[in-house]
Structure 1
Amino acid sequence: MNILHIITQKPNSTGSGIYMCGMINGFEKIGHKQAVIAGIDKDDEQVLFNKNIKFYPVNFNTKELPFNVVGMSDVMPYKSTLYKEMDKSMVDSLKSAFKIKIDKAIKEFKPDLIICHHLYLLTSYVKEVISDIPVVSVCHGTCLRQLKSHNLEKNYILQNIKNLDAIFALHDEQRKEIIEIFNISPSKVFTLGSGYDENKFFKNKKELPNDFINITYAGKIAKAKGLKSLIKSLSNLTHSKDFLNINIVGDGNNKDEYEEIINLANENYYNINFLGKIKQTELSRLFRESHIFVLPSFFEGLPLVVIESLACGCNVITTDIPGIKKWIGKEINNSNKISYVDLPNMKDVGVPYENELPNFENNLTYAINNMILNIVEHNTRNKTINMEDKTWNGLCNRLEETILSFNY
């Protein structure tokens, strides 16, 4: 089968891009031929995939697209255009630029299936202009947040997403939300989950010593990721300064938020190291050297870093993001390897009420301290868990099985 993947934003800088690349690797192992259409900046590296994957880049900051690559979140790890700030001419330019590459890919690559990423503007357009090839889409959560936060092409998006041949949700809670938002038949919406690359993310055979504790966060440097609360929660710990080492991986394009988080970290009792954006191979090595991975985020789809860090042996503390507990499964949930912190009440998507934060931060402190004690007293960091069904191969086998059951 020839599979064409389409995503509006950069395929190597965000969670949804990494998800897509994981799917590509999984389908390649199964034996499918693949091509990719993605938005990148004209000055970016133009070769992003191996020679077996045909890449059709749509270049932004050009005469045809004179603005930054659009971002599905308002804070992206690169300079981006916000959907809520786009006007009709920008929308038309976006459609026109992608249409050129879509036509070229269909003529040259002749796809049997098109997989779009995000239930949003470009996916709606792809379904509008293509009727003779099955078009399905993966929801990453951020697209639903965009629909709730402003009205750009809202009716157009709602109508065309409903016409997709199938939609894949990250978890059951998201599936219910998709059915409700788009008023779509439940028979078209499937729960797919997420995956990780077991060739990159794996556990060391040698046990990690527990005489000091490495704590790691990886993701965007942004308020919505709960980083300010994480830093404040660390201040409430009573361990010695040299017992804890904290690493923060990632970057962000909101200068004010970034500086606010950095300044708060500089005032902390413990050493907090900002490592910037690093390669996946470096991240996996860092996970293998870390005892605890913390994700204090106020909003996520289904975060890959949770299962990637678990695969590397980390104990995990994460906010109780809807759907994640069920996806992780009873075996891991009961292993003492993962702990969930209740989310604060939200005044908007990803924006908590300020008066909720002190209690949230106390709960985060408790979870971190409790996890440290479990590691020191019961050696839970070095416990092995079965992650086989969480790989990209497992995900692609599930998706292939579902797609082959369709009667197009």
Structure 2
Amino acid sequence: DRQLSSYNDAFRAAVLEAAAGFRPDIIHSNHLWLLTSLARSTLPGIPMVATCHGTDLRQMHACPRFRQDVVFGCSGLDGVFALYSGQAEEVRQLYGIPPERIHVTGAGFRSGLFVPGEKKTDIPTIVYGGKLSRAKGVPWMLRAFASVTDLPWTLFLAGGGTDPERAECLDLAGRLGNRAVIAGSLRQEEFAAALSGANVFILPSLYEGLPLVLPEALASGCLCLATDLPGVRDILKIAGKDWLRLIPCPPLEGADTIAPGYEPKFVSDIAATLRETLTDIFERPPSAELYRELAERLKNSTWQAVFQRMEKVYFTLAASESR
């Protein structure tokens, strides 16, 4: 409680100082959580919007002791930017925010950075990018790779993590021998270069909001494999089944823990999807025409397009405030 009080006091002072110095027309916060609630209640006279990233919704379930304080301020937001339609509905239910204040803006990728490069099809490169953790499904993914021994592939494993889960993932990756490249944490430019030359991107997460890495991988010309989650399904509507293939999500206990007895099936489902995708690459590699069609589908998923959707809300709020 003392820490929370200190946190609130420090951020309240910083928010007041920033508002006095900058005199904003609109405040845009991130995460429907403690700081956004504090800022809304501290500066009630300035229009305020906030982006929901998904981890805030997870915290509402994982840390219910803060829920009342969070809802107190966040329910008074003038606008919320949601990443996908299912998330918008969850925001409405959890925070009591009217649906007309919730706008599905999505998330974007850097169109000049994430572009297709030369793809090799003799030994396809498969990229994973993200935290090396159980919540991301990495241990089961690595066990699935170990079972696909009759087809050529190279796994490029990018990301960090914290022990002991990171150590578990590195141990399993080490058992794949020279088929696995352990790259560690990368700068965005380095990660974009890896995706540019890759054939496949895989994301076996047990929990996601709208995973930004999927549009980035798609824009890089990668066939994508991802767990069947609500945010992923929204990306599927854009990319289509030719480019994004769903891995059945196992039954869960809590937000991101596989229910007992379902781990072997999750491994076999990942392996089956991986095997099918590799076979398609060998037999029917994507053509230049398919790349052009995909780029057209993704044009509304660039950061420029996302910001245009946000900007419309800014202008509406600014016009309303001026009246």
Which residue of structure 2 lines up, in the alignment, with residue 158 of structure 1? 71
**Unmatched runs of 5 consecutive residues or more in structure 1:** 1-87
Which residue of structure 1 lines up, in the alignment, with residue 173 of structure 2? 265
| Aligned partner of residue 167 in structure 1, secondary structure | strand
List structure 1 segments (4+ residues) > 6 angstroms apart after TM superposition.
Answer: none
- The 8 Å contact of residues 314 and 381 in structure 1, kept in 2 or not, is answered as no
> Residues 226-241 of structure 1: matches in 2 within 5 Å?
226-239=137-150
Distance 1:294 1:94 in 2: 38
Q: Does 1:276 align with 2:184?
A: yes
Q: Does 1:351 align with 2:257?
A: yes
| Aligned partner of residue 405 in structure 1, secondary structure | helix
Q: Does 1:376 align with 2:282?
A: yes
Which residue of structure 2 lines up, in the alignment, with residue 92 of structure 1? 5
Moved more, 98-107 or 311-320: 98-107
- The 8 Å contact of residues 108 and 215 in structure 2, kept in 1 or not, is answered as yes
Which residue of structure 1 lines up, in the alignment, with residue 157 of structure 2? 248
Distance 1:312 1:375 in 2: 16
Cα distance, 1:290 vs. partner? 0.9
Distance 1:323 1:268 in 2: 31
- The 8 Å contact of residues 82 and 106 in structure 2, kept in 1 or not, is answered as yes
- The 8 Å contact of residues 250 and 277 in structure 1, kept in 2 or not, is answered as yes
- The 8 Å contact of residues 337 and 381 in structure 1, kept in 2 or not, is answered as no
- The 8 Å contact of residues 298 and 350 in structure 1, kept in 2 or not, is answered as yes
Q: Which of 49, 52, 63 is matched with 1:136 structurally?
A: 49
Distance 1:381 1:261 in 2: 35
Distance 1:188 1:373 in 2: 46
Moved more, 181-190 or 368-377: 181-190
Which residue of structure 1 lines up, in the alignment, with residue 14 of structure 2? 101
Q: Does 1:123 align with 2:36?
A: yes
Indicate how the Cα distance of structure 1 residues 354 and 163 shifts in structure 2: closer, same or farther if over 3 A, else same.
same
Cα distance, 1:295 vs. partner? 0.2
- The 8 Å contact of residues 315 and 381 in structure 1, kept in 2 or not, is answered as no
Indicate how the Cα distance of structure 1 residues 307 and 393 shifts in structure 2: closer, same or farther if over 3 A, else same.
same
The one-character-per-residue Cα deviations of 1:43-75 (angstroms, maximum 9, x if unpaired) are xxxxxxxxxxxxxxxxxxxxxxxxxxxxxxxxx
**What is the one-letter code of the residue matched to 2:149?**
T
Moved more, 104-113 or 162-171: 104-113
Which residue of structure 2 lines up, in the alignment, with residue 333 of structure 1? 240
Distance 2:215 2:194 in 1: 14
Indicate how the Cα distance of structure 1 residues 381 and 276 shifts in structure 2: closer, same or farther if over 3 A, else same.
farther
**What is the one-letter code of the residue matched to 1:251?**
G
Cα distance, 1:351 vs. partner? 1.1
| Aligned partner of residue 354 in structure 1, secondary structure | coil
- The 8 Å contact of residues 127 and 161 in structure 1, kept in 2 or not, is answered as yes
**Unmatched runs of 5 consecutive residues or more in structure 2:** none
Cα distance, 1:157 vs. partner? 0.8
Q: Does 1:402 align with 2:275?
A: no
Indicate how the Cα distance of structure 1 residues 305 and 381 shifts in structure 2: closer, same or farther if over 3 A, else same.
farther
Which residue of structure 2 lines up, in the alignment, with residue 208 of structure 1? 119
Distance 1:344 1:373 in 2: 24
Q: Does 1:360 align with 2:271?
A: no
The one-character-per-residue Cα deviations of 1:191-212 (angstroms, maximum 9, x if unpaired) are 11110111211123xx422111
Distance 2:187 2:23 in 1: 33
Q: Which of 95, 103, 111 is matched with 1:182 structurally?
A: 95
Indicate how the Cα distance of structure 1 residues 338 and 325 shifts in structure 2: closer, same or farther if over 3 A, else same.
same
Distance 1:198 1:221 in 2: 26
Cα distance, 1:328 vs. partner? 4.1
Distance 1:282 1:266 in 2: 22
The one-character-per-residue Cα deviations of 1:152-204 (angstroms, maximum 9, x if unpaired) are 32211122111111111111111111111112211111111110111211123
Which residue of structure 1 lines up, in the alignment, with residue 202 of structure 2? 294
TM-score by length of 1: 0.74
**What is the one-letter code of the residue matched to 2:155?**
I
